Chain A
Amino acid sequence: MTRPVYILGGYQTDFARNWTKEGKHIAAMIREAVAGGLAATGVEPAEIEVGHVGNFAAELYAMQGHLGAFLVDVDPAFAGLPTGRHEAACASGSIALLAASAEIEAGRYDCALVVGVEQMKTVSPARGGDFLGTAAWYEREAKGVEFPFPKLFGRLGDEYDRRYKLDDKHLARISAINYENARKNPKAQTRTWYMNEDHARACDSYNAVIGGRIKVTDCSQVTDGAVAVILASEAFAKKWAARRNAQLANVPRIKGWGHRTAPLLFDDKVAESRDQPYVLPHTRRAITDAYRRAGLADCWALDGIETHDCFTTSEYMAIDHFGLTRPGESWKAVEEGVIALDGKLPINPSGGLIGCGHPVGATGVRQLLDAYLQTTGQAGAYQVAGARTFATLNIGGSGTTSCVFIVGV
C-alpha cells in the first residue's frame, strides 16, 4: 500500500447487553462505542477528521437510517464532521473500514473514526430472521422461508459433503472451541453460557435443528453491539505515538486487504465453482489478494485469525480457504488442534461470531479491533502469545461479499 494506515485502538461494547431491554436508542450504542474509543486511544474529539459507520439494517430493526449523522451528536467537537454509512450485509463493518482506510491512503484525512453498529434485539427471532433474509436475494431465497440463512449455510456444508465428505462432529468441535474461547473474553455474549462438545453433538429439544444440518449450536448469536476504531495516517500515528511515549513500530498497521464479491444467489455461487477446488473461490481470492498486498507467503505467516463463523460451516470453509489445509481437508486442522487457542494457528480467540456474538454491521470492526488487541498484547485471557500478525475475514450474505484485513506490527 502506498501510504500506511495505522490502527490506534478502539472500543467494543459488552455484546451480552440487550439495549432494547435497557430502553436505549441506537444513538446510545454509537455514543458509548465512540466515547469508549476516544478514551481508550487518548485521541481528542477535535482530532477526528472523518467518520464512517457500518450498519446493515437499522431501517428494519430500529426504524432509523442516516446513521453517520449520529456521530455528530456524540461530541460538540464533531460539529460539521464529514460522515457516511456503509452497507454490505454482515460485511458492512469492513466496508466502512475500507472506505476510511482508502481515504487515509489517498491523503484526504489523517485521522478517521469507524463505527460498526447493529441493534437486533428489537424484534422476535423469526422477524429478525426475515430481516436477515434481505442479505440474500430476498425474493428468490428468503421470502416466506423461516430462518433462511441457517438453511443457506447448511447448504454450504452439504456442498462440502458432496465434494469432499463432511463429518458433523468437526462442526461440533468448531462450535465448542468458539464458546470455550468466548469464556475468556469479558465482552463476549456467551461468556457465561453452558456449552461443550457433548452439547454441540447432542440433537434434542435443547439443541434443535434450525435448518438442514444446522443446529442451534452451529449458529452465531442475535446480538446488540457497537464497536469503534480509530485509523490514522503515518504522520498522525507518529505524533500520537510520541505523546504516549510509544514507538511507531509497535503501532499495528493494516498491512493488506482483500475485497471481492460473488454472485448473490447461493445456487449461482455453487454452479460457478463446480469444478474448482475452492467452494467459494471469490472468498479465496479476497484472502490471497490480502496475502499478496501484505507480502505474506501464506497463512503460516499469521499468528491468528478472526474469521466469520456466522455458522460452523462458514468457519469450516474459512479453514481451507485461508490455506491451513488443502481444499476439502479443513477437518484435519480441527482434529489436530491447529485452530485451538493454543494451536499452531488459532482461529477466533475472541470466540468469534458464535461465541463473542454477531451484531451484524459491527462484526467487521470488532474483528479488526480484536486483531489490534492481539498484535499489541492487550487481549487479556484470550491473548495469543507473542502475536504480531493477525488476519480477519468478514463475509456478507451467503459468501457474497468477502473482506479481509491483515493487521500487524
Chain B
Amino acid sequence: MGGARTTGFMARQIRKVVVLGANGAMGAGSGEVFAAAGIETTFLARTRDKALEGQKRAEKLAKSSAISRFIRVGSYEEDLARAVADADLVFEAVSEDLALKRVYLEKIDKLRQPDAIVATVSSGLSIAAMAAVGGASFSRHFLGIHFFNPPNVIVGCELIPHAGTDPLVVGDVTELLRERLGRELVRTSDTPAFCGNRVGFKVLNECAQLVERHGAAYIDALLGPHTGRAMAPLATIDFVGWDVHQAIVDNVYAHTRDEAHEAFALPALMKEKIAAGCLGDKTPDKGGFFKKGEKPNAELPEVARRMKALHHVGRYREAFDVFADAGGADADLMRRVILGYVSYGLARVGEVVESVADVDRIMGFGFNWAPPGALVDLIGARRTVALVEAARLPVPRALVEAAERNQRLFDAAHVDIGRFFHG
C-alpha cells in the first residue's frame, strides 16, 4: 500500500483514509466527506460501538446508507495498528486538547507507512507543535486540515502546512481537498486559530464584550443577519458552545499581539458563567446568552429595521447606504463592529493568508458571513476608507489599494452576494 508516489511529478493517489475520533461531530463529519468521495474510510474510536455511532452519524449526514460501502469501523485497541499501517492519509480528529492529540500522533507515527500523510483537524492549535512529536519524516508529512462543522454542508476549508511540511504533500492534499472533495480551499499560515476563526471569533468576542453594557438581546438585534450573516453573533456563540469559544479566544489572546488584541479577552461575565457550567445550547438548562430555542425579544433599532426592510426586497446596496449614512449611537456601534470586521479581516492579508480572496472565501464559505471584500464593494472602497477612519479603526493596506484603484475586491463571480444579507 501507499507505493503510488514514486516521483515528484505524480500526485499521490489517496485511496485509504483513517479517521481517529470518528464518533465526534468533526470526526464523523469529516469521515463522511472522505467516504462520499468514494474513498475507503476507516472510522476509529475508543470502542467499536462508538465508531459505529460515527458511521450512523455519517449516514444521517449523507442521507444515505449507500455511503457505508466506503466505511469501515474499528477501535483503537483492536484496529489502530492495522488501519494506520494501511492508510494513505491518517486524519486525527480527537478532542481539541494538545496533550491528548500528542499521544495519538506519537502512536500514529510509529505505525504509519513512511510516506503516509498525517493531518489534524484542529481548529487553531499550533501545527508545528504537533509536528514536533515525531521525527523528520513525520514532520514533513504532517499538516492541518480545518473543516467547518458540518463539513458535508459547509465547503469552506483551511489547509495549514507548518514550516517543515513537504511541498509535495501540500500539493497532494490540495488536490484531494479541492478536486475530489469539492472544498473551497484556503491556505493559511500556522498562526493561532488560522484565518476563519481568528477573524470570526474576534467579532464574536467583541460582541460578547459589549453585552455587559448593552445587553445580549440588543447586541443580537443590532448586529443580526441584516449585517451579513445567517445567525446573530451571540446566538452563534451559544450554538458553538462557550467552552469552544473560550478555547479559541484564549489561544489567540495568549499567542498573538495584534491591533485588536483586547478584542480577544474573554469577558468576565462569560468566564464566571463557564465556571458555573454554563456552556450555551449544549447545557440547555443553564443556557448561554439565551435559552436554547428562545427568540430574544428585543426591538430592532431603527437603523437595523431600515436595512432589513431593504434587504427584504433585494436592495442590498441601498441597505448599506443606510449603514454608511445613518446617525445616532446605534449606527455608530454597528459601524464600529462591522467595519472592525472588515478592517481586521483585510489586515490578515500578508500575515495569515496571501490575498483578499482567501479571507473572503473562508468567511463566505466557512462562516457563512458576508465576506469583507463583498462588504467593501457594496459600500464602495473609498467610502469604506472614510468610514473606517471615522470609526478610528486601522485602514488595512488592501483597502487602501482598492480605494486608490477604485476596484472591486470580491472576485467569486458564481456567488450571489445577496444570500449573505437577511431581510
Footprint of B on A, CB under 8 Å? 13-14, 17, 21-25, 27-32, 36, 73, 183, 186-187, 191-196, 198-199, 202, 204, 206-207
Compute how far the CA of A32 lies from the CA of B416 in the bound complex, rounded to whole angstroms.
Answer: 8
- The residue on B at minimum CB distance from A27 is B313
Contact code string B354-393 (vs A, CB < 8 Å = 1, else 0): 0000000000000000000000000000000000000000
Contacts of B32 in A (CB 8 A): 194
B419 touches A23 (CB 8 A): no
**Binding stretch for chain A, among B63-71, B89-97, B109-117, B262-270:** B63-71
Q: Which residues of B contact A187 (CB under 8 A)?
A: 414
B207 within 8 A of A: no
When the two chains form their complex, are residues B63 and A194 in contact, meaning their CB atoms are under 8 A apart?
Answer: yes
- CB neighbours (8 Å) of B414 from chain A are 14, 186-187
A17 near B419 (CB under 8 angstroms)? yes
Q: Are A31 and B416 in contact (CB under 8 A)?
A: no
7 cross-chain pairs, A with B, having the tightest CB-CB distances, nearest first:
A28-B314, A31-B314, A194-B62, A198-B66, A23-B423, A199-B66, A186-B414
Whether B416 lies near A25 (C-beta < 8 A) is: no
Most buried by B among A17, A196, A202: A196
Q: Is B418 part of the contact surface with A, judged by Cβ < 8 Å?
A: yes
**Residue-wise interface mask of B (145-157) relative to A, using a CB-CB cutoff of 8 A (1 in contact, 0 not):** 0000000110100
How far apart are the CA atoms of A28 and B59 in the complex, in Å? 36
Complex CA–CA separation, A27 to B310 (angstroms) = 11
- Taken together as a complex, chains A and B put the C-alpha atoms of A172 and B66 apart, in Å, by 13
In B404-423, the 8 Å CB interface with A consists of: 414-416, 418-419, 421-423
Chain B residues, CB < 8 A from A196: 38, 66
Is the pair A194, B67 in contact by a Cβ cutoff of 8 Å? Answer: yes
How close is A351's CB to chain B, nearest CB, in angstroms? 14
Interface contact B36-A194, CB-CB below 8 Å: yes
Evaluate whether A192 and B314 lie within 8 angstroms (CB atoms) in the complex, with A13-B416, A23-B422, A187-B414 already known.
Answer: no
Instruction: Contact check, B313 vs A25: say whether CB atoms are below 8 A apart.
Output: yes
B311 adjacent to A24 (CB under 8 Å): yes
Known A-B contacts A14-B419, A17-B416, A192-B182; the reply to A23 vs B308 at CB < 8 A is yes
* Interface Cβ pair total, 8 Å cutoff: 85
Residue B178 lies at the interface, judged by CB distance under 8 Å to chain A:
no
Q: Is the CB of A206 within 8 A of B225?
A: no
- Quick one: which of B65, B153, B312 contacts A28, CB cutoff 8 A? B312
- Cross-interface CB contact of B153 among A183, A192, A199, cutoff 8 Å: A192
Minimum CB–CB distance for A36 against chain B, Å: 8
* Residues in chain B near residue A183, CB distance under 8 A: 182
CA separation between A195 and B66, bound complex, in Å? Answer: 9
B315 proximal to A (CB < 8 A): yes
- Which residue, B38, B64, B67, has most C-beta atoms of chain A within 10 A? B64
Contact B64–A194 (Cβ < 8 Å): yes
CA distance A22 to B311 in the complex (A): 9
Tell me the residues in window 52-110 of chain B with beta carbons closer than 8 Å to chain A beta carbons: 59, 61-67, 69
- Kindly list chain A residues whose C-beta atoms are within 8 Å of the C-beta of B423: 22-25, 28
Are A24 and B69 within 8 A (Cβ)?
no
Contacts of A22 in B (CB 8 A): 311, 418-419, 421-423
Q: Return the contact of A31 from the options B38, B63, B315 (Cβ within 8 A).
A: B315
Nearest CB of chain A from residue B281's CB, rounded to whole Å: 19
How many interface residues does B have (CB within 8 Å)? 32
Per the bound structure, the CA–CA distance linking A21 and B314 in Å amounts to 14
Contact at B418–A28, with CB atoms within 8 Å?
yes
Q: Enumerate chain B residues within 8 angstroms of A32, measured Cβ to Cβ.
A: 314, 416, 418
Bound complex: CA A265 to CA B61 (Å): 39
Contact A23 B66 (CB under 8 A): no
Contact of A24 with B64 in the complex, beta carbons under 8 Å = no
Chain B contacts of A24 at CB under 8 A? 311-314, 418, 422-423
Contacting pair A206 B308 (CB below 8 A):
no
| Pairs A–B under 8 Å by Cβ, sample size 30 | A13-B416, A14-B414, A14-B416, A17-B416, A17-B419, A21-B422, A22-B419, A22-B421, A22-B423, A23-B225, A23-B311, A24-B422, A25-B312, A25-B313, A27-B313, A29-B314, A30-B314, A32-B314, A36-B416, A192-B155, A194-B36, A194-B64, A194-B67, A195-B64, A196-B38, A198-B69, A199-B64, A202-B64, A206-B59, A207-B64
Residue of B66, B153, B225, B314 near A202 (CB, 8 A) is: B66
A74 to chain B, nearest CB (A): 9
Give min CB distance, A359 to chain B, whole Å.
14
User: What are the interface flags for B178-189 relative to A under an 8 Å C-beta threshold, 1 for contact and 0 otherwise?
Assistant: 000010000000
Bound complex: CA A198 to CA B65 (Å): 9
Bound form: Cα–Cα A14–B417 in Å: 10
Provide the bound-state CA to CA distance between A202 and B64, in Å.
9
Complex CA gap A193/B32 in Å reads 11
Assembly CA distance A32 to B153 (angstroms): 24
Distance in angstroms between the alpha carbons of A24 and B226 in the assembled complex: 11
How far is the CB of A207 from the nearest CB of chain B, in Å? Answer: 7
4 more contacts with CB within 8 A, not counting A22-B311, A73-B313, A187-B414, are A22-B421, A25-B312, A186-B414, A192-B153
Cβ–Cβ contact B315 & A206, under 8 A: no
| A29 vs B313: C-alpha distance when bound (angstroms) | 8
A192 B152 Cβ-Cβ under 8 A:
yes
A204 proximity list for chain B (CB < 8 A): 65
Give A29 to B314 CA distance when docked, in angstroms.
Answer: 7
Given contacts A23-B225, A202-B65, contact A194 B152 (CB under 8 A): yes
Most-contacted residue by chain A among B36, B153, B315, B418 (CB, 10 A): B418
For window 305-321 of B, CB contacts with A under 8 Å fall at: 308, 311-315
User: Which residue of B67, B312, B314 has the most chain A CB atoms within 10 A of its CB atom?
Assistant: B314
